[in-house]
Structure 1
Amino acid sequence: MPGATAVGITYAGGVILASEKRIAYGNFLVSKNTRKTFQITPYVGAACAGLVADMQILSLQISALAKIRKMDLKRDIPPNSVAKMMSNMMYERRFFPLLTQVIVGGVVGEPAIYTLDSLGSVLPDEYAAVGTGAEMALGVLDPQFKSGMSEKDAVDLAVRGIRSAALRDSFSGDGLDILALDANGAREIAQAA
C-alpha cells in the first residue's frame, strides 16, 4: 500500500484530524501537495492513508450518502454512523478492496474517532494513527495524549506526531493539513510546514 501518515485526536469538545501531503510510489515522489483530510459532513471528517484515488472516491461517496441519510432522518449524522457506512462500503469491496486506511472523527454529541482498515473493520478510540508512519506517530501520541486536552494541545500533539513520522518515513512529509471539528462545525487550521 502506498505510504502516508494521518492522525486523529479527540480533545475536550472536538476532534483534530491531520495528515501530511506527500504522495510517493516506490522511489518516485509524485506530489508534495495532496489533500488527505476530507470533510464528510459539517461535523464529521476523515483522514486517510493509502491510494489517493481510493481515498477521494470513498470520501465523495460517503459524503453523498451522509447527505441523503441526513435528509431521511432530519438530523445530523454522527461519526459512528459515517464510520459504519464507510465500513459497509469497504467490506462490500473486500475482494477488490479500496487500498486505504481511514480515521473517521467528528462531533455530534460527544467527540469520537474510529479507525478503519481496508476491509472495513471499525475500531473506536480516543486517538489513532494510520499509514506507513503510524508507528512513529503513535510513539509520540501514546505517552503525550491526555483525555480532555485543549484544542491547542491536540493540534500541537498532532503536528508533533506527523512530523515525527515524516522524519523516519520516506513516504510521509511535505507539510500538513489539519481539520478541526467541534460543535460549531469543521474548519481548517493553517499550519506552517
Structure 2
Amino acid sequence: MLESTYYPDYSTAPIQHQFNPYSDNGGSVVAIAGDDFVIIGADTRLSAGFSIYTREQNKLFQLSNTTVLGCSGCWCDTLTLTRILKSRMQMYQQEHNKTMSTVACAQMLSTMLYYKRFFPYYISNVLVGLDNEGKGCVYSYDPVGHCEKTTYRAGGSAGALLQPLLDNQIGQKNMENVKPTAVTQERALNVIKDVFISAAERDIYTGDSILINIITKEGIKEERFELRKD
C-alpha cells in the first residue's frame, strides 16, 4: 500500500502585509538662548538612507517676528504640522487682532502633538523665541507633546552627539572651579557653528550647510554657514 504525501495548501495561509508610514529624512537642530536673544540653527541636508534628496532644504519655519520653529525628521510630517500651525496662528491673529506670543505658541504646539499621540508626527521639534519679558527661551518636545523649557537644546539625527557638547560649553555641567557666566550672542553663534562642524564629521544625515536665525527685539536676522558636503 502506497503512503500518501500531504502537500499543504499555501493559498489559504495568512499573508502578512507591512506598511511603514514614516520615513526619517535626517537633519539636526540646535538652539541657544540668552538674556535678550535666541539663536537657532539647522542643517540643510534632506536625505533618506544613503540618498541625498537635496542639499538646500530650509528646516526653520518663521511663525512670527519673535518665534521660529526648527523641525527635523519625517519631512512630510513636518510640512503637515507647520501648515496646520501657521493656519491656527493666522486664525488667532484674525480673531484677537494680535500676534500669538511665543509662550502661547509653545503651548499650542504641545496640544497639537498630544492630539496626534496615537499616530504621532515623526519629528524632532525645537521652538524658540522671546518670551513676554523679552528674554530668549527654547522649548523642546517629544513626539507626543511633552514640552520642556530650557536655554539650550539639540535635536534630530545628531542630537545625542550635540547635546553633551552644549552641556559642557553652555551649561557647564559637572565642572569644578568654573563660575557660570551669561552667554553672549557672539559666543552662542560660535558654539552652534562648532557643534555642527563636529556633527558633520560623525553623522551622515547632517551636513552641507547651516541656516541660522538670530532673534532679537529688532527682529530676525538670517545667516548661513557652510559645512562639509561629503
Aligned counterparts of 2:196 and 2:79: Cα–Cα separation in 1:
21
Residue of structure 1 equivalent to 2:148: 123
Quick one: distance in 2 between partners of 1:7 and 1:170?
17
C-alpha distance in 2, partners of 1:187/1:53?
A: 27
Correspondences of 1:174-193 after superposition (within 5 Å): 174-193=208-227
Equivalent residue number for residue 58 of structure 1: 81
Is residue 58–residue 86 contact of structure 1 (8 Å, CA) maintained in 2? Answer: no
- The total of aligned residue pairs comes to 193
Aligned 8 A contact 2:45 2:52 in 1 = yes
| TM-score, reference length from structure 1 | 0.91
| Maintained 8 Å contact 1:5/1:133 | yes
Structure number having the greater helix percentage = 1
Aligned with residue 138 of structure 1, among 163, 174, 181 = 163
What does the per-residue CA deviation read over 1:87-126, in whole Å, with 9 as the maximum and x for residues that have no partner? 2112212222211011000014221110012211111111
Q: Which residue of 2 aligns with 1:113?
A: 138
Partner residue, 1:10: 33
Report the aligned-residue RMSD.
Answer: 1.7
Which runs of no fewer than 5 residues in structure 1 stay unpaired?
none
| SS at 2:63 equivalent | strand
Greater share of strand: 1
Counterparts of 1:125 and 1:179, CA distance in 2: 18
Identical columns (%): 23
Moved more, 39-48 or 64-73: 64-73
Query: 1:86 offset after TM fit, Å?
Result: 1.2
1:166 aligns with 2:200: yes
4+ runs deviating over 6 angstroms: none
Partner Cα distance (2:191, 2:94) in 1: 36
Q: Which has the larger radius of gyration?
A: 2
